[in-house]
Amino acid sequence: MSITIKSAADIEGMRLACRLASEVLDYIAPHIKPGITTKEIDRLGAECMA
C-alpha cells in the first residue's frame, strides 16, 4: 500500500466537495421524516444543487 501525496489543488478540491456535500445535507435534513422515499430525497438533493 502506498501513500499518495496530494497537491494543494487536490486538497482544495476535496474541501469544496465536502463543503457542497454539507450544504446539501443541511438542506435535506429538515425534510427527512418517516415515510419519505429515497426518490424524494434524491429530488431534494438535486433541487438544492440546481
Instruction: Work out how many domains the chain is built from and give that number.
Output: 1
For residue 22, give its domain range.
9-49
Supply the pLDDT for residue 1.
86
Within a domain: 3: no
- The number of residues in the chain equals 50
pTM of this prediction exceeds 0.95? no
Determine the Cα–Cα distance for residues 49 and 38; give it in Å rounded to an integer. 17
Per-residue pLDDT of the chain (50 residues; tens, 9 = 90+): 899 999 999 999 999 999 999 999 999 999 999 999 999 999 999 999 99
Domain assignment present for residue 4? The answer is: no
Structure-block grid coordinates of residue 15: 474541501
